[in-house]
C-alpha cells in the first residue's frame, strides 16, 4: 500500500526538496501552499491545495483525507503546533501498535529538537495543571492506550492509565533534556533507547517485531 504524506509549505525551498524526495521514495504527496504559481515540472504528481497555513479550516481540509506523515516546513509558533495536535487523529495507524507509538514519539521529540525554546512553554515540567498542549496530547495518548487495552495489546498488569502516565513521563523527560542541548551528538540514540525500552515494557510484542 502506497503511503501518503502531507507537506505544509510545499512551495518553499525546503518543502520542494521534501516533496521531491518523498515522491522518489514512492510516497503519494499532497501539499499546502499560499502561492498560486505552479510547482516545478518534476513535482507534477503533488496534489496542491492553495490556502493560508494559519487558517484552521484550510488545514483541516488538506489533512482531512488522512495521511501517514505530515511534514510542516513552515516556521511556526506554538499556536501552529496546537493546530497540528487538533488534527493529529488524521494520521493513519499502521496496524502495528509499537510502530504507531514509535512514530508518535519520534514526531514529538522531533518537534522539541526543532523548537527547543517553544517546547518547554508548551510542555512545562512543573507542578500544577497541564498546559493546553499537554492536556490534548495526554487525551490522545490515553485514547490510544484504551484502544490497545481493549484489544489485549498491553502487557499483563498494564492498564491504559499506567501506560499513558509512563510513556508521557518518559517522553517529556527525554524531549526536555534534548531541548537543553538540541545539537548534542547522541540525542537520537538517547531518544530511541528510552522509547524502545518504555514501549517494550508496556506493549506486547507484535508479529512484525517477533520475526
Task: Identify the pLDDT of residue 184.
Answer: 93
Which range among 40-54, 86-100, 102-116 has the greatest average pLDDT?
40-54
Cell of 83: 493546530
What's the whole-number mean pLDDT along residues 169-193? 94
Calpha distance 193→71 (Å, rounded):
24
Mean pLDDT of the chain: 84
* Percent above pLDDT 70 for the chain: 86
Residues 162-177 pLDDT 10s: 999 999 999 999 999 9
What's the whole-number mean pLDDT along residues 54-67? 75
Whole-structure pTM value: 0.60
Please say whether the beta carbons of 116 and 182 come within 8 A. Answer: yes
User: Does the pLDDT of residue 207 top 60, yes or no?
Assistant: no
Residues 34-51 pLDDT 10s: 888 889 999 999 999 898
Give the number of C-alpha atoms closer than 13 A to the C-alpha of residue 117, restricted to the C-beta side: 2
Give the single-character DSSP code of 80: H
Task: Identify the pLDDT of residue 54.
Answer: 75
Structural domains of the chain in order of their starting residue, each with its CATH number: 1-92 (3.40.50.720), 96-211 (1.10.357)
What's the whole-number mean pLDDT along residues 131-155? 87
Task: Identify the pLDDT of residue 115.
Answer: 78
Calpha distance 98→87 (Å, rounded):
21
Task: Identify the pLDDT of residue 211.
Answer: 46
Calpha distance 95→75 (Å, rounded):
32
pLDDT higher for 167 or 62?
167
Task: Identify the pLDDT of residue 15.
Answer: 86
pLDDT higher for 64 or 58?
58
pLDDT higher for 109 or 166?
166
- Stated as kind and residue range, the H or E segment containing 18 is helix 13-24
Q: Residue 78 burial by CB count (10 A; 0-12/13-18/19+): exposed, middle or buried?
A: middle
Calpha distance 80→122 (Å, rounded):
12
Amino acid at each position: 500500500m502506497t503511503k501518503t504524506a502531507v507537506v505544509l509549505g510545499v512551495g518553499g525551498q525546503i518543502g520542494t526538496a521534501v516533496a521531491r524526495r518523498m515522491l522518489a521514495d514512492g510516497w503519494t504527496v499532497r501539499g499546502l501552499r499560499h502561492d498560486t504559481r505552479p510547482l516545478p515540472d518534476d513535482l507534477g504528481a503533488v496534489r496542491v491545495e492553495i490556502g493560508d497555513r494559519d487558517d484552521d479550516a484550510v488545514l483541516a481540509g488538506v489533512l482531512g483525507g488522512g495521511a501517514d506523515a505530515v511534514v510542516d516546513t513552515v516556521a511556526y509558533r506554538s499556536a501552529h503546533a496546537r493546530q497540528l495536535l487538533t488534527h493529529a487523529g488524521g494520521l493513519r495507524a499502521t496496524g502495528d501498535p509499537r510502530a504507531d507509538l514509535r512514530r508518535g514519539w519520534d514526531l514529538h521529540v522531533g518537534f522539541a529538537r526543532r523548537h527547543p525554546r517553544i517546547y518547554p512553554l508548551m510542555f512545562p515540567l512543573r507542578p500544577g495543571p497541564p498546559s493546553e498542549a499537554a492536556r490534548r496530547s495526554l487525551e490522545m495518548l490515553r485514547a490510544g492506550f484504551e484502544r490497545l487495552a481493549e484489544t489485549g495489546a498491553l502487557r499483563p498488569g498494564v492498564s491504559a492509565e499506567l501506560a499513558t502516565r509512563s510513556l508521557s513521563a518518559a517522553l517529556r523527560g527525554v524531549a526536555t533534556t534534548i531541548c537543553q542541548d538540541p545539537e548534542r551528538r547522541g540525542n537520537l540514540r538517547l531518544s530511541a533507547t528510552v522509547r524502545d525500552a518504555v514501549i517494550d515494557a508496556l506493549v506486547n510484542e507484535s508479529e512484525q517485531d517477533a520475526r
